Structure 1
Amino acid sequence: MAWLLPSRRTGIALAAGCILFSALAAANAHPGDLSVSQIEGQLQSCPLVESLNEHKRATSPQTASLTSKIFAVLFPGSPAVNALLATAYISGPPNFLLALCPPNIDPSSLSIMVAFAVGGLLGDTLFHLLPEIFLGEDSPDHVSFVMVEPNKNLLLGLGIMVGFFTFVAMDKALRIATGGGGGHDHSHGHAHTDASATTSSSDTKSKSSGDVKKRKSGSKSNSSPSVPEKEINPSVKLGGYLNLIADFTHNITDGLALSSSFYASPTLGATTTVAVFFHEIPHEVGDFALLVQSGFSKRKAMGAQFVTAVGAFLGTMIGIAVQEFGGSGVADNTGAAAGLLGTSLSWGDMLLPFTAGTFLYVGTVAVIPELLETGPNKALELRNTVTQFLAVAVGAGIMLVISWD
């Protein structure tokens, strides 16, 4: 068992450790007989730590930052209430924005918005999720101590990998279901595949229209071409329905991410909401365009997107249930750890690593290939590349500023 103390001075670290073990000895207790929260409580009662807490409170800003005030207004309740509010925030506005979108929007034109979302997702993962997973959230009222449990860190890393490869498996399954044409990747990489399918469908329509013109002439020539235009390639139509199923599933993971982050800390929950919101806007617009290409009317496409938003609320409810009833990971009456595999972790603690793994997949494997695609116009592609990198920097910068504040 090792300790990481918040001070840069080794002497203070050793003194705090000595004070802790002196307190434990006086109480006839052994560190192994206490839970992590009990050890933290013993540390906070040490005179040296109390003086550090007073120094921290005295040097902390007396007024809350603007972002803190905004988050306090948006998320005023308990972790469960805040998670439900966040789910409403990320599900409602992006879907209502679809009413302003033209039905013939091209998903490939959303590359700048997608790049911005990538920066937000990766920024949230690297600046908030991963530090929170392994080190915990800093408190403005007292100094924090981190107990290093090797097996605990291994399980947290395993949770990240499980989240990552869960999305790999889902993406692979959808690619197999669509005949290798590419599945839904929670971004808009499908736009290129669907565009080619649409082009093939258009070619088929043109040929069919030409045949009709050859067979029919005169007064019927004006009405004949309209019939093939209503026909949709079966593979494109299938892709639209599979996209709805995948969208519903991915929205469940968004709900899990929000619930786990709010139970970790209010700040982490708020920043995760911002990151998911940034990603949902291009995500919803791209899916809307795909549904229209699959034969949906604008009204039916908007209705289908609202239906898939139910998945986010379902995921949030599942996450709340796991957090509330998944165990606390504290020591039992015999002194043995009651957490997973002898660690202080509970099942609820594994949701945040799972979320980090899914965000890593979405922000890298699922989206980066689309940003790497180039066209024959080198000058245009260079301008697009610079703009995309700037969008990524802005998205990540917002996450960094919120975390710094």
Structure 2
Amino acid sequence: MHSQECPLVQSLNQHKLVTHPVTSSVTSRIFAVLFPGNPAVNALLATLYISGPPNFLLALCPPNIDPSSLSVMVAFAVGGLLGDTLFHLLPEIFLGEDSPEHVRFVMVEPNKNLLLGVAIMVGFITFVAMDKGLRIATGGESGHDHSHGAVERDEKPAARGTASSVDSGDASAVRQRKPASSSDSTSPSTTTFIPDKEISPSVKLGGYLNLIADFTHNITDGLALSSSFYASPTIGATTTVAVFFHEIPHEVGDFALLIQSGFSKRQAMGAQFVTAVGAFLGTAIGIAVQEFGGSSSGAGAVSGPGLWGTSLQWGDMLLPFTAGTFLYVGTVAVIPELLETGPDRGLELRKTATQFAAMAAGAGIMLA
């Protein structure tokens, strides 16, 4: 007999409906419009939402954007990512989501929580290894952190001459102006136009490695979206919101790094659209694992013992894995940038207060 057919459980269900009647909030109605299909369709729609708008926003960004101006947006994204991980993903991973219509029972298994913890750690360590590998590949100059502290190289532009020569951010345009300015004998200020420094090979390499890292990171975003929608529609929707807010400073930071690596604005935007394919690839992989690898609650649920004799299947490992990557992105990859301070104490105090307010706002959205 199914547990929901038990008289005791049915009486508990009736008591729950009386004491906690089902209501439809504004956010739930919005989510129902944005995600009207099954988990696979919703995951693909979510990937489209988090990949399209942030990339189109790059058209509005000036090539010489100051990455430090993104610190408030980064803090807001951190609050959203950590809020989603701590308020939604981890409770869902270990306990499951509450159902508004009936009570739920959680079965405690000896090795289940252990396996879930291992999957979280594997996700965390995977990003540590990726970040460390990129730092080694770039000679220790900078890794691909998701707060994009790497774009601090913007302080040393590829070429420096007259004020108007760097506005476009296009190194090729600077090189085209060089002969004309050097042959002009009528103006002493233009005859001394000499590029301060050509783009070094390591900076160019850093730009291409950043694209690879961005592609890999987008794969994990796709995995997160697919696994969260198979867990529940609510978890999927909140994860989409958290990833969306993270993608805006993420994409703008990558855009600034590519510009200073020698890309034109159009080339940088095109490269960002190419890396967005990684999110769809990750979503497709996640859907395939859920559908064919099995999960204890998804469409691919299988009968019989699972991993280590527990009820867990391989599909159940995706959500804790992505929770581990979110923990890395929201802490190790971003917090160091927020801890950076300057000599002006008053300015830093105001900046810190703004960052904490933004972080609280991001977490507050996840609570709501």
Give the TM-score, by structure 2 length.
0.89
Q: Does 1:367 align with 2:367?
A: no
2:266 maps to 1:306? no
**Which residue among 147, 161, 167 is the counterpart of 1:187?**
147
* Partner Cα separation in structure 2 for residue 225 and residue 389 of structure 1: 47
Q: Is the 8 A contact 2:185 2:191 kept in 1?
A: no
Deviation at 1:106, TM superposition (A): 1.1
One-letter amino acid of the structure 2 residue matched with residue 253 of structure 1: T
Q: State the one-letter code of the partner of 1:71.
A: F
**1:255 aligned residue:** 222
Q: Distance in 1 between matches of 2:234 and 2:157?
A: 46
Say if 2:78 is the partner of 1:111.
no
- Please say if 1:380 is aligned against 2:340: no
Distance 1:273 1:250 in 2: 15
Match of 2:367 in 1: 400
Matches within 5 A, 1:316-335: 316-328=283-295
Shift in Å, 1:145 = 0.3
Are 1:56 and 2:23 counterparts? no
Instruction: Tell me which residue corresponds to 2:133.
Output: 173
SS at match of 1:146: coil
Amino acid at match of 1:91: S
The 3-state SS of whatever aligns with 1:77 is: coil
Calculate the aligned-residue CA RMSD, in Å: 2.6
Letter in 2 for 1:242: L
Q: Is 1:122 the counterpart of 2:82 in the alignment?
A: yes
Give the match for residue 307 of structure 2.
340
Cα deviation, residue 226, structure 1: 6.0
Residues in 2 aligned to 1:377 and 1:287: alpha-carbon distance in whole angstroms: 28
Question: AA paired with 1:57?
Answer: L
Q: How far apart, CA to CA, are the structure 2 residues paired with 1:191 and 1:61? A: 51
Structure 2: where are the runs of 5+ without partners? 166-174
Where does the alignment leave 5 or more consecutive residues of structure 1 unmatched? 1-40
Displacement, 1:83?
0.1
Residues 91-112 of structure 1 deviation map (CA, whole Å, 9 limit, x = unaligned): 0000111111111101121100
Match of 1:8 in 2: none
Distance in 1 (CA, whole Å) between partners of 2:346 and 2:335 is 20
AA aligned opposite 2:110: P
Report the secondary structure of 2:107's partner residue: strand
Partner residue of 1:35? none
Q: Distance in 1 between matches of 2:192 and 2:17?
A: 75
- How far did 1:224 drift? 6.2
Q: 1:134 to 1:361 in 2, by over 3 A?
A: same
TM-score (norm 1): 0.81
How big is the shift at 1:62?
Answer: 4.5
- Alignment-derived partner of residue 352 in structure 1: 319
| 1:226–1:90 CA distance, 2 compared to 1 (3 A) | farther
Seen in structure 2, the aligned counterparts of structure 1 residues 309 and 227 have a Cα distance that, compared at 3 Å, is farther
CA deviations over 1:167-214 (Å, ceiling 9, x no partner): 00000000000000121122212123x245x269759x9xxx9xx9xx
Cα pair 1:201 1:233 within 8 Å, conserved: no
The one of 373, 391, 396 equivalent to 2:358 is: 391
Q: Residue type matched to 1:292 in 2?
A: I
1:218 offset after TM fit, Å? 2.7
Q: Deviations over 1:31-62 (max 9, x none)?
A: xxxxxxxxxx6322211110111122233344
Q: Which residue, 114, 117, 128 being the options, matches 1:157?
A: 117
TM-fit CA distance, 1:237 = 1.5
Post-superposition shift, 1:380?
0.5
Equivalent residues of 1:108, 1:188 under 8 A apart: no
Distance 1:186 1:382, change over 3 A: same
Cα shift readout 1:97-142 (whole Å, capped 9, x = no counterpart): 1111111101121100000000000000000000000000111111
Q: Distance in 2 between matches of 1:331 and 1:319?
A: 17
Of residues 183-192 and 43-52 in structure 1, the stretch that sits farther from structure 2 once superposed is 183-192
Secondary structure at 1:147 match in 2: coil
* Paired residue type of 2:363: A
Shift of 1:234: 2.1
